[in-house]
Structure 1
Amino acid sequence: MRNIIRGLLLTPLFALVVSGCDTARQDVTLHARDAVPERLSDWHIVEAIDEELTLNRGVTPYDLNTALFTDYAHKLRTVWMPPGTSAVYGEERFDYPVGTVLTKTFYYPKGPDGTVLRTDDYRRDYVEGKVGEALALDRVHLVETRVLVKRADGWQALPYVWNAEQTDATLEIAGDASPMRLASDGGASQPFTYVVPDANQCAGCHADNHTQKAIAPLGPRARHLNKDYAYASGAQNQLLHWQQIGYLSGLPAFEAIPRNADFADADLPLEMRARAYLDINCGHCHNPAGAADTSGLMLHHSEQDRRRLGLCKPPVAAGTGSGDRRFAIVPGHPEDSILTFRVESTDPGAMMPELGRSLVHEEGVALLREWIAAMPGNCS
């Protein structure tokens, strides 16, 4: 159902018509590393215009098979590349051209009495007749837009926080924190603090190679992008679409392209869904070159060793992070597994992931519990 809803997001073949005033809109502006603007609007990528958050010409939205959980926030992701350039396909990561700008806008549908809504339904977020093209600012609350820019010497991460008037976002290198109340469809609500990471924390998560410490995009990779998207010209695989509009070269035979599962698609095998969830939420640190490499727990998509994946694996260091449990994964027993303890925790000293959430992702926890409960064997 989630993919069907997201499949409603529409965009023209190359350029998005964003408003009746589009002819007067300034083109995307690429700023130098040492002269980044204080205002998001100065990039002219996504802007608040006439009560709409709109995408500029040549700015293309995209979606992921399974996305990183961020306190139930909705996300609008975009990619822009300088005219005449394209990314070069790689199975693990693309070689993006200098000047590529990726953005991710985090927002919530507005709820009653100043709350924000917990919902998987994206349809009400958009302006009538502009699904996928323009967010309706009278229906959504914008929180932050993260900008990732490819420079000649590597990627630069920049967090922008939206103002109370929802007219623009300001660069906040030190991050930000906003108290909110999250309301469910049933009417119950809970308080939480939405935390915008500082620039160093952005760089820390995006440096999935801890030795090189170079940051890179995590979401727009082949296995995450390999899915259909309902463009205005018709449904099309996103990778084929990028190739068609000139944003991707070197695409191999389609059957050779990896594809992660949608963790919420109950029609897919349980193992595929759980592994996809762990890959996007944990694999950027828990991989052989990542920041958590010394833990010995490898949760990236290509790990095949069940012990390294956590099966009957004792922790390298015990303490509050283990919850007094003996093994990362105890087959058949999620209640005895460190993995479930950490994803269920909101204690900063124990929770995983360490950044990016204040709430427990109930659907993700339920999936991991189901996966572990279905595993045969024991740790005796």
Structure 2
Amino acid sequence: MVKFAKHAALLALLLLAGCQRGMAPPAFHADGKPLRLSDWHMVEARDGKLELNAGVVPYSLNTPLFTDYVHKLRTVWMPKGVSAKYDAKNTFDFPIGTVVTKTFYYPRAADGKFSDVARTLDYSGDFTGQDLNLASVHLVETRLLVRRKEGWTPFVYVWNQAQTEATLVRTGDVQALTLVDAQNQREDFNYVVPDEGQCVNCHEADMIGRSILPIGPKARHLNRDYDYGSGRENQLEHLVAIGYLMDLPKLADVPKNADWRDPSASLDARARAWLDVNCAMCHNPNGEASVTGFSLGPDVPEDHHLGLCKSPEAAGPATGGRLFDIVPGKPDASIIMHRIGSAQPGVMMPEIGRSTVDREGEALIRAWILSLKGNCDIVR
């Protein structure tokens, strides 16, 4: 009875919030390709803010995927009366009608030039469970994954310069931007918005069926607290409370990835979390990189399956002349360091999704490889 009362109260608050904002109800389009992001009524630019509709729930990941230092606002919405089913390892089983959104944006650089964006890992002032202030951020794109009867369907919407609407793009987009750090160091780069077909490259669930799945909504990524504006709460428990998730076990039994920037977590846990979210979507037995025999999921043992002293299967010239995927204690002799430290097409990993190098992530994996024991005198 207490849980039901809490559930009802939360839903009432969500509905009230939607009425106060004056938005039309969230819309699930079972077919077709809506031309505007606002056709979905999930997130909308209104009165100088990017606002979430009633029932559109924000979430974040313990360790997020790197994309050119862009910040991301993730949300999930489901129709009334349905819930996702918990899974300890894989993406949750979401019901038909689920809409997952991810809005890519940058804090604006201090000089105010539209193409200048801040290179910062500080998310603290971005979003507090309510909205994004459009005066301080530069919206780039919003991607949707929509659970239709036939499976998940991707949509990519690019924001206009006025920051008032995002329109559907099917062939991608390229935007010339400049990253500006706290020391006013500048880095020009091309932000690449993927085309429809490229979404499959990262989100492919299996190579045979070519079906796709969301990457982030897994137990180990979501098991963390989030500031919903009214206070912090564990994300998984929050989803249960509002009726979006069922069959959640005790939190003590739920897996949890480390925050890659958390100094209290072990170096191994932080590095494995970074590799999991940035690489394992392809480097797993069913992914695009399954033919390599090089897996980077969280449960892969530290042996040749994880690339230790393993010769590459299909990297070709992208090895940079190196012999093994990972050489314990020797990052500069490891192919993985060569590839994550490159922004050159055909060499860099991941193959798409970035035009710059994740310097902090690169430093983390370097430190992790330095900490690994063993040698590659015996070729496996």
- Could you say whether these structures have the same fold, taking a TM-score greater than 0.5 normalized by the shorter chain as the test? yes
- 1:21 deviates by 7.1
Aligned to 1:120: 121
Figure out how many residues of one structure are paired with residues of the other and give that number.
364
- 1:377 deviates by 1.4
Aligned to 1:220: 217
Alignment pair present for 1:53 and 2:50:
yes
AA aligned opposite 1:95 = D
TM-score, normalised with respect to structure 2? 0.92
Taking structure 1 as reference, are residues 230 and 318 closer, same or farther at Cα in structure 2, changes over 3 Å only?
Answer: closer
Q: 2:330 aligns with which of 326, 329, 333?
A: 333
- Determine helix, strand or coil for the equivalent of 1:320: helix
- 1:270 deviates by 0.8
Aligned residue runs from structure 1 range 88-167, under 5 A: 88-91=85-88, 92-111=90-109, 112-114=111-113, 115-126=116-127, 131-167=128-164
State the Cα deviation string for residues 210-237 of structure 1 (Å, max 9, x = none).
2231101100111100011123443221
- Determine helix, strand or coil for the equivalent of 1:61: strand
Asked if structure 2 preserves the Cα contact closer than 8 Å seen for 1:321 and 1:349, the reply is yes
- 1:306 deviates by 1.3
Asked if structure 2 preserves the Cα contact closer than 8 Å seen for 1:18 and 1:56, the reply is no
Q: What RMSD in Å do the two structures reach over aligned CA positions?
A: 1.7
Whole-Å Cα distance in 2 between the matches of residues 70 and 185 of structure 1? 19
TM-score, normalised with respect to structure 1? 0.92
State the Cα deviation string for residues 84-108 of structure 1 (Å, max 9, x = none).
1110111122110100000000000
- 1:30 deviates by 1.1
Q: 1:254 aligns with which of 245, 251, 254?
A: 251
Unaligned runs of 5+ in 2: 1-8
Whole-Å Cα distance in 1 between the matches of residues 340 and 52 of structure 2? 35
Asked if structure 2 preserves the Cα contact closer than 8 Å seen for 1:144 and 1:162, the reply is yes
Aligned to 1:3: none
Asked if structure 2 preserves the Cα contact closer than 8 Å seen for 1:208 and 1:290, the reply is yes
- 1:24 deviates by 3.1
Whole-Å Cα distance in 1 between the matches of residues 314 and 18 of structure 2? 59
Taking structure 1 as reference, are residues 16 and 183 closer, same or farther at Cα in structure 2, changes over 3 Å only?
Answer: farther
Aligned to 1:273: 270
Whole-Å Cα distance in 2 between the matches of residues 320 and 104 of structure 1? 34
Whole-Å Cα distance in 1 between the matches of residues 374 and 122 of structure 2? 39
Asked if structure 2 preserves the Cα contact closer than 8 Å seen for 1:124 and 1:139, the reply is no
Asked if structure 1 preserves the Cα contact closer than 8 Å seen for 2:15 and 2:55, the reply is no
Taking structure 1 as reference, are residues 244 and 363 closer, same or farther at Cα in structure 2, changes over 3 Å only?
Answer: same
Whole-Å Cα distance in 1 between the matches of residues 76 and 328 of structure 2? 41
Unaligned runs of 5+ in 1: 1-11
Aligned to 2:65: 68
State the Cα deviation string for residues 267-301 of structure 1 (Å, max 9, x = none).
11111111111110000100011110111111112
- 1:305 deviates by 5.0
Alignment pair present for 1:321 and 2:322:
no
- Determine helix, strand or coil for the equivalent of 2:305: coil
Taking structure 1 as reference, are residues 24 and 267 closer, same or farther at Cα in structure 2, changes over 3 Å only?
Answer: closer
Aligned to 1:203: 200
Aligned to 2:5: none
State the Cα deviation string for residues 332-356 of structure 1 (Å, max 9, x = none).
1101100000000111111000011
- Determine helix, strand or coil for the equivalent of 1:141: strand
Taking structure 1 as reference, are residues 88 and 19 closer, same or farther at Cα in structure 2, changes over 3 Å only?
Answer: closer
Aligned to 2:261: 264
- 1:39 deviates by 0.5
Taking structure 1 as reference, are residues 196 and 188 closer, same or farther at Cα in structure 2, changes over 3 Å only?
Answer: same
Percent of aligned positions that are identical: 52
